[in-house]
Copies of this chain bind each other. A is one copy, B any other.
């Protein structure tokens, strides 16, 4: 049946779907799924860096408030981040970034800031820009980020 579609059909009406082979599209989706897996970690690390910068420490209660989730969700997520080597912490104490975590935070902050400036430069209001940047920043390739930066920085 698949053979039928690939031969009989696409022979006479070359389609968008066939022009873009399944492999290529699958790769795109796999990339997106990969990005999705890292999004949460990036959100946490970025937020933790912010909180440390602002308040000298990152407490689970503040992380939970900023993310809009409950405390146990944060406890679990932090356990995962610790497992992944992005943070260190002791039970009942606040959270610190490892070198790796700090590097990731810096990268995230940079991306976030570029996307935000880009959207505002494009004419978006600051609030919507902030909302959209939060979602978009995880799905922007290096190349796109460079273009965003050029646009935002242009005279």
Contact = CB atoms under 8 A, between A and B. Distances in A.
Contacts of A17: 50-51, 54-55, 66
Interface string A53-79: 111000101100111110000000000
A20 B129 CA distance: 13
Interface residues of A, number: 57
A25 B5 CA distance: 48
Q: Indicate how many identical chains form the complex.
A: 2
Interface in A73-99: none
Which among A55, A140, A151 has the highest number of chain B CB atoms within 10 Å? A55
A139 B140 CA distance: 11
15 contacts: A1-B59, A5-B55, A13-B54, A16-B50, A25-B68, A26-B65, A27-B131, A28-B131, A29-B134, A31-B131, A122-B147, A125-B143, A135-B138, A136-B136, A136-B140
Contact of A135 (B22, B25, B119, B139): B139
Contacts of A26: 65-68
A3 to B, nearest CB: 12
A103 interface: no
